Chain A
Amino acid sequence: MTTSPAIDVQGLSHRYDTELVLRDLSFVIERGEVFGFLGHNGAGKTTAVNILTTLITPSDGTALVCGHDVVAERHEVTRMIGYLPSEVRLYGHLTASENLEFFARLSGVERPRAAAQDALRYLECADLADRRVSTFSTGMRQRIGIAQAIVHRPEVLFLDEPTSGLDPIGVRQLRDTIGRLNEDLGMTVFMNTHLLSEVARVCTTIGVLDHGELIYKDSIAETLRRFPDERSLEDIYVRMDGRSS
């Protein structure tokens, strides 16, 4: 029995009014990978995530998540994915537990209260369950944000700039969390980020987006083998980005 890739994108393009923000994007991410999507501000990373999470309809091309088309099979796709946007606000007047229960219900989880408690326990923040989200620090909100993204145990987790606003300890905790979600629960992770050091530590594959075009995609191991003279991943990224411009 063959299983479809976690993400299969072919000829994906998107324009906002007259501006083309994604150009003929094609790539495949296998299940169980942790994919780091790199690119400068405005490269089109968030637009790609918005399409893959069914929030916007692409202008052209196809995108499949776990074998389901993001346009034609939107409902099936949303059952397979978890999503954490770059700025996590949630409902500040409600407690962490109430927020998670709500999102669990939206995803059709049978026992939403238990699922919320499980997600909080898994992320080691059960002590935050009965506190209102408006009282949380950025790091706490980020953890609750991840909890809402995994409360229904999705197969693919989309994280858009998950480290923005976090202190070094928060970044390290997030890195550990992503690793555990991938190893323990087998989730495929698609992560938009600027932090190359995190990509090198967490991701198994990277892709580099430049002005809406995918200019590079390969495994971390192969990338480091292909560019042996480069000292760090950052040097490789700058070199690739420089080549394309």
Chain B
Amino acid sequence: MIATIARHQVRSLVRQRTFVSLLGVFGVMTVLAGVLGWSSHHTIVRVYDQAVILLDGQGRPAPPNPFTLRPRLSLLSNMVVYVPLIGALLALVVGHLSVVDDQSGGVGRLVFSRGLDRRTYVVGKLAAAAFVLATVATMSTVISAASLLIVERTLAPSDLARLVAFFALSWLYLMVFASIGMVSGVASRLRSLGLLSALGAWLVITFVVPQFTSGLRPTASLNPITDPVSTSQSFFRATAKLRPLSIAEQYKQASAHLLQTATTHESAVRLLGHLVPIAGALVLLAAVLIDLVGRHDYSRSASDA
């Protein structure tokens, strides 16, 4: 029965214009990350080549090519920005669309008059989102690997493994947002309010919480002028202790290490430590979803507004 729900949901999703449009945007951004990496590589190498000619003419030794010092995967550093922005929006829409059709128009009444267990229903919906987002992550892996091959002509197995690990991490991160889309969809009486509240949660997780937990002065992003007077900022030092709970930061840190753009080295155990809050958030949201769907009155339709 889980497979029936999941297959039905995937089929329904791929027919919806909103999903297809966002998927297209994410695909373009993934290609763009590769193009930007290639462009930056190409420009710097040309500047380097000219500098080498100039230095050679002056009889001075040339420094090493900067790209030989940089890890190859760092060319894809833009993906760490695109996944929490476009990818998370795509995941919210996947989650939202997975439940709203059953909320409105009496379809949920038909589904649950068939003796379907509500827990099975939730697992089926999560399985559908997992499959769709895994497909997106796989496609992104292929596009990114192709971009690297075009630029570097070769891709080491260790780099490919890191790339796969990065997109597996991204899949886990996106599943959190798909679950948020489902939870807000089930909890809201109005269809549009469900998506708006999911977007609100995305804004808070992606932009607001990291401002506090990163221990930065939050106003710095609005007014990047150094404080004329030093303040204690004890409040922000306290909120910085909550950093392990900020899943956006955990994702960025883990991604930076996987793509080798981080300035420090972390052990595999510490790297796995970044996954715990993300996986924990997913488990918590799944439990909330099961509870909400279990208590939801499907005999009453939600408004389509």
Residues of A at under 8 Å CB distance from B?
Answer: 46, 50, 53-56, 74-75, 77-79, 81, 83, 85-94, 98, 102-103, 105-107, 132, 148
Q: Decide yes or no whether B238 CB sits under 8 A from chain A.
A: no
CA distance A10 to B133 in the complex (A): 50
Contact call B11/A55, Cβ cutoff below 8 A: no
Contact call A87/B115, Cβ cutoff below 8 A: no
Distance (Å) between the CB of A201 and the closest chain B CB?
26
Q: Mark B99-124, 1 if CB is under 8 A from A, else 0.
A: 00100111101111111100000000
Q: Decide yes or no whether B153 CB sits under 8 A from chain A.
A: no
Q: Which residues of B contact A50 (CB under 8 A)?
A: 109, 299
Contact call A94/B107, Cβ cutoff below 8 A: no
Contact call B106/A102, Cβ cutoff below 8 A: no
Closest to B106 in A: A85
Contact call B11/A103, Cβ cutoff below 8 A: no
Q: Which of B4, B11, B115 contacts A75 (CB 8 A)?
A: B115
Q: Which residues of B contact A94 (CB under 8 A)?
A: 11-12, 15
| Best-surrounded residue of A54, A74, A98, A106 (most CB of chain B within 10 A) | A106
| Best-surrounded residue of A77, A87, A132 (most CB of chain B within 10 A) | A87
Q: Which residues of B contact A77 (CB under 8 A)?
A: 115
Q: Decide yes or no whether B1 CB sits under 8 A from chain A.
A: yes
Q: Which residues of B contact A90 (CB under 8 A)?
A: 105, 107, 110
Q: Decide yes or no whether B297 CB sits under 8 A from chain A.
A: yes
Q: Which of A53, A86, A92, A93 contacts B113 (CB 8 A)?
A: A53
Contact call A79/B115, Cβ cutoff below 8 A: yes
Closest to B1 in A: A106
Top 7 nearest A-B pairs by Cβ distance? A89-B105, A78-B115, A93-B15, A106-B114, A85-B106, A55-B299, A50-B299
Q: Decide yes or no whether B16 CB sits under 8 A from chain A.
A: yes
Q: Which residues of A contact B112 (CB under 8 A)?
A: 54-55
Contact call A87/B111, Cβ cutoff below 8 A: no
Chain B interface: which size bin?
20 to 34
Closest to B115 in A: A78
Counted as pairs of residues, one from A and one from B, with CB atoms less than 8 Å apart, the total is 69
Contact call B105/A105, Cβ cutoff below 8 A: no
Closest to A84 in B: B110
25 interchain pairs, CB-CB under 8 A: A50-B109, A53-B109, A55-B112, A55-B298, A55-B299, A56-B297, A74-B115, A77-B115, A78-B115, A83-B110, A85-B110, A88-B106, A89-B107, A91-B8, A93-B12, A93-B15, A94-B11, A102-B4, A105-B4, A106-B115, A106-B116, A107-B114, A107-B115, A132-B15, A148-B110
Residues of B at under 8 Å CB distance from A?
Answer: 1, 4, 8, 11-12, 15-16, 101, 104-107, 109-116, 297-299, 301
Closest to A80 in B: B115
With A90-B105, A106-B4, A106-B114 already in contact, 5 other A-B pairs whose C-beta atoms are closer than 8 Å: A54-B112, A55-B112, A83-B110, A85-B109, A87-B105
Contact call A91/B12, Cβ cutoff below 8 A: yes
Q: Which residues of A contact B110 (CB under 8 A)?
A: 83, 85, 90, 103, 148
Q: Which residues of B contact A105 (CB under 8 A)?
A: 4, 8
Distance (Å) between the CB of A44 and the closest chain B CB?
13
Contact call A89/B299, Cβ cutoff below 8 A: no
CA distance A54 to B226 in the complex (A): 65
CA distance A94 to B14 in the complex (A): 10
Q: Which residues of A contact B111 (CB under 8 A)?
A: 106
Distance (Å) between the CB of B273 and the closest chain A CB?
41
Closest to A101 in B: B8
Q: Which residues of B contact A92 (CB under 8 A)?
A: 101
Q: Which residues of A contact B299 (CB under 8 A)?
A: 46, 50, 55-56
Q: Which of A53, A87, A93 contacts B301 (CB 8 A)?
A: A87
Q: Which residues of A contact B298 (CB under 8 A)?
A: 55
CA distance A94 to B107 in the complex (A): 13
Q: Which residues of A contact B106 (CB under 8 A)?
A: 85-89
CA distance A74 to B114 in the complex (A): 10
Distance (Å) between the CB of B201 and the closest chain A CB?
26
Closest to B4 in A: A105
Q: Which residues of B contact A75 (CB under 8 A)?
A: 115
CA distance A79 to B114 in the complex (A): 7
CA distance A81 to B110 in the complex (A): 11
CA distance A97 to B8 in the complex (A): 12
